[in-house]
Amino acid sequence: MKTLVNDFSIHVATVNGSGSQTANSVLLRAIFQMGIPVSGKNLFPSNIAGLPTWFTIRVSRDGYVARRKRNDILVVMNPETAAEDIAAMPPGSMIIVNEQIKVPEIAPDRIVYRVPMPKLMEPITTDVRLRRLVVNMIYVGVLAEKLGIHEDEIERALDAQLGKKPKALALNHAAVRAGWEFARTSLPKNDRFTLERMNANQGKILIEGNTAAALGAMFGGVTVVTWYPITPSSSLVESLIGYLGQHRRDPETGAASYAVVQAEDEIAAIGMVLGAGWAGARAMTSTSGPGISLMAEFAGYGYYAEIPAVIWDIQRIGPSTGLPTRTSQADVAFVHGLSHGDTRHPVLLPSSVRDCYDFGMRAFDLAERLQTPVFVLSDLDLGMNLWTSDPFPYPDQPWDRGKVLGDDELAKLQKFERYRDVDADGIPWRTLPGTKDPKGTYFTRGSGHDEAARYTESPEIYQRVMERLARKMETAKSLVPAPVVTEDTGAKIGLIAYGSTHWAMVEARDTLRAAGLPSGYLLLKALPFNDDLVRFARRYDRLYVVEQNRDGQMADLIRLALGDLAPRVRSVRHFDGMPVDAVAISAPILELEGIPNPAAVAEGAIR
């Protein structure tokens, strides 16, 4: 069988709460340090301890970081799922089994390494609890030896994780060594997988999207953060709390240049954000689908009363409680029009950790410029998994606080009207409470109001205000991040995607190209759409909109935007809660285009 260098996936099956996270991080980081493109996906249950969990590490010399359905190496640490996990492994794969676990007979064309893990742990520690946690390091040692990860890299990775705890470091190190030695002396190599150093990660960082978003918010100058704990959003705010505590407190007085409030629910969370935004703070909250549902009424208030707010939605599977620890892109249509009445919100669609950082800042600028709630739609895959990225640059722009009149400006004005469109861009000027000039005072309300913010039920005025709000969304089109277009020569089909789906798109386009199907590709970065979308659509006979929801929500929004061109739109959907893989995109497109592709089909068959 052909040797596979730097191109395979390692699937570690464990029980959550068993301490495998450290082991998997060490493995991932060691490979990262070897300069090999690598990505990790944590597939975890909605549970604290005792349920099956999987961690998949994909190494790809071609730089692909999307999930791949097929796994090449399996580590069996969970008796509950062992039979199923083993059955899913293809011929030629490698299986490391904790000998303690009873497994069914494995076909001879799978390479099996049986490791007496409990026995190897015996000399390392007598503490039963520690044994259970540290035993995971045995498979790290075995894998390192078999795949060719240099011991130094494991040591560096271990040191980075546990350097501050010398006892734990020594213990973990001993376990890695034990696995390593056992593999070297007792497991002759007869698998086909190997890792070789590359230079793909020079200067790069490993980061979760939620951490990136937190950094963006901090450097964007956030001052008020509210939240209600919810998976998969919590780590965004928790990360932000950590960074703000370190970098946004006066070292002398201890005074904080921010406030973080854990609210009683998501209604209060967005209410606090609107109150703070109204009073001039850069305020944000972060949540997931169920929280978004609760925020609906206030979202409409923010739109109609024109108050800046930033709301992150780290999407998970719905409807209802759904699958709290599985990824999704099914909130997009709901969020875009969140609330009753004619409501429309700008929605930013980060597709990378870098986007999370950039949009973490830019969302504030947009919210304050447009005086409206701005939503940022990330997802569990982007938010909670580790991604490789170039380091984030320091912001090269000051912030944009939008149209705010202070006392000095008011003094020069004859009169001030809060909702008067004086610049013909749909965006009025506002004042903040605390402004001394009585001209600047106004009364904010969610009920019908005229240009001077006075209550009115006048049909003409109501309609006029709503039309102006629509004009404001027109202005938003030129302010939100533009889509990114890349096009193959000779392409007849156009692909459209957004968010974390992007990474599988990159890989799928390579597959399509190899099968003789070049494509154009438009990566959406925001709603509302700008004219780039229509121009792109005109160039292609068929448009495939790829997304991670059942109903093709973005495809529908695009159809509405395209008018006459709408029949060109076809929808490709993936919505089982697992991050989308390239085959799930290339296979249906090839099929719809009538191009046979045995390779893609074969990979797809091992589901």
Partner 1 sequence: MSDRRHAPATPGAAPGHPAKPGPAPPTGVNRIGLSRADYDGSKTTLCPGCGHNAITGGIIQAAFDAGLEPHRVAKLSGIGCSSKTPAYFLGRSHGFNAVHGRMPSIATGVHLANRELLLIGVSGDGDTASIGLGQFCHLVRRNVPVVYIVENNGVYGLTKGQFSATADVGSTMKGGQVNDLQPIDLCAIAIELGCGFVARSFSGDQKQLRPLLQAAFAHRGTAVLDVISPCVTFADHEGSTKSYAAVKEHDAPLHDIEFVPYYEDIHVDYEPGTTREVEMPDGSHIVLKKLAADFDPTSREAAFGAIHEAAGEGKLVTGLLYVNEKKVAFSQELALPERALASLTLDQVRPRREVLDRIMEQLRTGKGLAAASGGG
Provide the minimum distance between the beta carbon of 4 and partner 1 in the complex, in angstroms, as a whole number: 26
Provide the minimum distance between the beta carbon of 403 and partner 1 in the complex, in angstroms, as a whole number: 16
Q: What is the amino acid identity at position 506?
A: V
**CA dist list (Å): 449 to 455, 464, 504:** 5, 10, 47
Provide the minimum distance between the beta carbon of 381 and partner 1 in the complex, in angstroms, as a whole number: 12
Q: What is the DSSP string of 577-603?
A: SSPPBSHHHHHHHHHHTT---HHHHHH
159 vs 467 by CB, closer to partner 1: 159
**542: CB partners within 8 A, 6+ apart:** 492, 493, 494, 568, 570, 593
253 vs 414 by CB, closer to partner 1: 253
Instruction: List own/partner pairs for 81-86 with CB under 8 A and 24 or more apart.
Output: 81/13, 81/52, 82/13, 85/11, 85/13, 86/110
Q: What is the amino acid identity at position 545?
A: V
- Among residues 534, 529, 526, the alpha carbon closest in space to that of 498 is found at 526
25 vs 501 by CB, closer to partner 1: 25
Provide the minimum distance between the beta carbon of 258 and partner 1 in the complex, in angstroms, as a whole number: 7
Provide the minimum distance between the beta carbon of 420 and partner 1 in the complex, in angstroms, as a whole number: 17
- Among residues 513, 487, 485, the alpha carbon closest in space to that of 593 is found at 513
26 vs 537 by CB, closer to partner 1: 26
Provide the minimum distance between the beta carbon of 443 and partner 1 in the complex, in angstroms, as a whole number: 4
Q: What is the DSSP string of 378-420?
A: EEHHHHHSEEEEPPPPPP-S-----SB--HHHHHT-S---TT-
Pairwise CA distance, residues 359 & 481, whole Å: 9
Pairwise CA distance, residues 325 & 383, whole Å: 11
Instruction: State the CB neighbour count (10 A cutoff) for residue 283.
Output: 27
Instruction: State the CB neighbour count (10 A cutoff) for residue 37.
Output: 21
Stated as kind and residue range, the H or E segment containing 9 is strand 7-15
2 vs 412 by CB, closer to partner 1: 412
Q: What is the DSSP string of 185-214?
A: HH------EE-----TTTT-EEEEHHHHHH
268 vs 482 by CB, closer to partner 1: 268
205 vs 565 by CB, closer to partner 1: 205
308 vs 588 by CB, closer to partner 1: 308
Judge whether 380 and 331 are in contact, CB under 8 Å.
no
224 vs 589 by CB, closer to partner 1: 224
190 vs 321 by CB, closer to partner 1: 321
Pairwise CA distance, residues 208 & 406, whole Å: 40
Provide the minimum distance between the beta carbon of 591 and partner 1 in the complex, in angstroms, as a whole number: 35
Provide the minimum distance between the beta carbon of 101 and partner 1 in the complex, in angstroms, as a whole number: 24
Provide the minimum distance between the beta carbon of 501 and partner 1 in the complex, in angstroms, as a whole number: 21
Structure-token pair, residue 117? 């893990």
